[in-house]
Each structure stands twice: as C-alpha cells, then as structure tokens.
Copies of this chain bind each other. A is one copy, B any other.
Amino acid sequence: MAKLKPRTLSGFMELLPRRQAQFDRMAEILRRTYALYGFTPLDTPLVEASEILLAKGGGETEKQIYRFTKGDADLSLRFDLTVPLAKYVALHQNELTFPFRRFQIGKVYRGERAQRGRFREFYQADIDVIGDGALDIINEAEIPSIIYQAFTALGLKRFRIRLNNRKVLSGLFAALGLEQRTGEIMRAIDKLEKIGPEKVAAILTEDAGVPIETADRLLELLSAPEPLSALAPYRGRNDLLDRGIEELETVVRCLSAFGVPEDHFIIDLTIARGLDYYTGTVYETVMLDHPEIGSICSGGRYDNLAEYYTDKKLPGVGISIGLTRLFFVLEDQGYLNEDLPSAPADVLVLPMTEELSPAIAAATALRRRDIRAQLYTEPKKFKQKMSYADKLGIPFVLLLGEDEIAQDRVSLKNMRSGVQSLLTLEEAAAAIAQSLAVSAAPVREPEQE
C-alpha cells in the first residue's frame, strides 16, 4: 500500500510527551490560580455561527478567520475567547448571577502567516468579571494581583505589569483641546515604544494637526517618571480626566493591599491598548529580560461586553494570556524547568516471574495510594526493560521476582541514585510518595547578577 507522509499543519503546535507534561502543568497552575480568586470554569464551542463571531465585523479579524459552510450553515472557528463570552452572557443573562466571574483556557484560531513563534491554533487563558449595569473599581485593582500571582506561581520573577487608564488619556486629550482627534492621537501613542518619541511627535503635528508645543507637552507628560505627580496640575480641568486619575490612584493604592510588590507594577501613561473597546484601567505585562516579546498578558476595563447582542449594559474587566506563545518563548529562552518530573509514571512495576498476580496486585495497591504505576509485561531482556524506564524518566522501578515474593517484599530501584532496596510494599510506597513531594515551579529564570 502506498503510504501517505504523516504531517502536522504548520502553525499548529503538537508537543512530544515530555513537553506536553510541562505545558499541562503550566495550564493547571493558571487554572488553580484563577479558581482561587472565585472564577468559575467555562467551556464554549470552538465553532460558532459566523454572524455571531463577526458581529463587530471588519479589519484583520475577518481576514484571519477560519470560515466555512456545512450544509447551509455559515460557520467559523473562534478567534478569541471574548466574543464567545459576550454571546454566552447575552444568551444566558437570566440564568447567570452577576458579577459573573469566569475563566476559560481554550484554543482559538487565526489564519496568520505562519512564522517562528506565531501560531494559527493557540491557547488563550482568559479571566473576566462581568457586572450587571455596574462594576466596582476594586475589580480593576484585583486583576493585576491575579496576574502577579499567576506568573509567580509559574515561576516567573522578572516581569512587570504596566497600568494605565483610558479615561486619563481621553480626558487629557480633551484638557489639551484635542478631543476631536482622540482616535488618531491614541493610535500614534500606541506606536511610541516601537518608533520612538520623535517620529510620534512628527505624526502628531504633521498628520493629526496637533500644535508643536501641545505635542511636546503631551509626550513629556506621558513619559514623566512620576505620572501621578505630572498629572496633578491638570486636575479640575476635565471631569473624565479627574475620574481617570482617581481610578488610577485607587488601583495603585489597593495593589499593595493585594500583595503586589512595588517593583512588579508601574503606571505607564503610554499604554493605550487598542482603540474603542477599553474605557478604564488597561494592562500589559512584560518580561524585563525579554522586552522584544511584547506583552505576555493584556487586558482592561470595558463598558459594554455584549452590545452587539443585547441592550443590557454589561461592563467588565478581563485579561488574556497567550499561553501557547508564552510556552514557546519560555522554551526558547531555556526557562522551562527540566528537573520537574514529566514521566508518564512514578514507578515501573516489573514482574520477574511467569505468574503475574503479585505484580498486578502491587501495581493496584500503589495506585490506591495515588502513585502512578505502570505494569510492564513485554517479553524483553532485563536490560531493555530498565532502559524503558530510563528513557521515559520514570524515577523508580519495582522488581518482583521469586525471592521477593517468597519474602513478601519488593525490590525498589531508585533510577537516579541506582540504589536498590528490599522493602515491604508499604515502605516502597512511602519512599516513592516522599520523592514526589518535592514541588517546584515549571519555569526557572536564570539568576540575576
């Protein structure tokens, strides 16, 4: 029979078992962290009606989306977790209790040009808090503490959360007499990190018609080392600006109560995050030693989650971690902790007699103690059996020969130390359990000098 060359689509991550175990551990830490803050897990279809996903329409989304028909249905793969959430909340609004806090870790699809570190199928790990008509500012202050906890639990240390408030930006533009050009100015400021202040100033003055001295004042203000002090003289000139400053102050004041160390967050007035969706606090998170990666966790406050589907006002705040990309970056930088157990089993049970019942019983007893035990019964040479455990990184081998059975003992070999001991099954289980108790984070940053 002619064989078909097996292949996986480009841009679709598929991991070998060891890497998969590491990826799953990271996802599990996010899941646990989110759950600790009272977020409920959600799972929505990967396929939705195209009209639902494209309700907002236009732009890059429409070009990148995987869209197709089945029968007479016009379907699309979801390209983020926010639009399906909006649909879910609008659809089930009468059955949900608000504030509704949900997390979702799931795959999304974007038909981008495949390149290193860019994926067409990738995991996002999102949390959102949705209010019914109103949502307290404290929710905006809690979000950075969840980001901090999540990344710390993963093992990351040198990261920083950048905070801004869209009301501050919009209010400031208005206070400077630029309210007619908010969109244009916002887009220009978004480019600050990429093209630098000179070029942004040129765009502001030449394209957006901002007077030179106003553009200079704005850029100086936005990059002031003490943003809240720099903003102080502008208080009282514009309501939106005043509210924005107040919100920013509240968020910053709460952060220490929430346990976020001062060197892990910073107010950065240049963070704009898109154009029309966010209306309050916005977040970005950068790895200090890898600014080139860009933000690894972004989000913000919005006023209307589901305006395309319902008249109900659903304000919210949320963040998204691009988990596949983050994993790829950490792997690439050598940050993955390779010492963590990623073997499929904690112990390989090797029967050395024809009669298998004692080995089966031993494996069953170990599993009852929550020890992952694999029974190995292939008719191979002893050396090959040990090599199997070795290749998979299984830390213990339990040998059951006639001698052991006669003495009601087992031989437990520690594959790392090479030490083999004759033990009762109880003692062996205790030894294995003890070695498993060592816990460490999946990410290990190089030490700073």
Contact = CB atoms under 8 A, between A and B. Distances in A.
A288 interface: no
Contact of A24 (B41, B96, B101, B367): B41
Interface string A347-385: 010000000110011001001001111110111000000
Copies in the complex: 2
A284 B24 CA distance: 30
Q: How large is the interface on A (under 10, 10 to 19, 20 to 34, 35 or more residues)?
A: 35 or more
Interface stretch (A31-39, A200-208, A432-440): A31-39
B360 A49 contact: no
Contacts of A377: 136, 138-139
A103 to B, nearest CB: 9
A155 interface: no
A8 B16 CA distance: 34
Nearest to A365: B259
A373 B36 contact: yes
Contact of A35 (B96, B357, B372): B372
Nearest to A256: B357
A5 B55 CA distance: 10
Interface string A52-80: 10010000000000111111010101000
Contacts of A46: 46, 107, 121
Interface string A250-284: 00001001110000000000000000000000000
A71 B111 contact: yes
A21 interface: yes
B38 A345 contact: yes
A51 to B, nearest CB: 6
Contact of A344 (B39, B70, B73, B371): B39
A419 interface: no
Interface stretch (A83-91, A167-175, A231-239, A240-248): A83-91
B4 A51 contact: yes
Contacts of A15: 43
B20 A40 contact: yes
B90 A47 contact: no
A339 to B, nearest CB: 18
Contacts of A92: 16
Nearest to A367: B36
A14 B68 contact: no
Interface stretch (A189-197, A210-218, A219-227, A305-313): A305-313
Nearest to A49: B9
A13 B87 CA distance: 14
Contacts of A375: 38, 138, 142
Interface of A: 1, 3-9, 12-17, 20-21, 23-24, 35-49, 51-52, 55, 66-71, 73, 75, 77, 87-88, 90-92, 95-97, 99, 101-102, 107, 109, 111, 121, 131, 134-136, 138-139, 142, 145, 149, 254, 257-259, 306-311, 344-345, 348, 356-357, 360-361, 364, 367, 370-375, 377-379, 388, 391-392
19 contacts: A3-B310, A4-B309, A5-B309, A6-B310, A7-B49, A9-B73, A35-B372, A36-B372, A38-B345, A38-B374, A46-B46, A66-B68, A67-B68, A101-B344, A136-B378, A149-B367, A254-B356, A257-B357, A257-B360
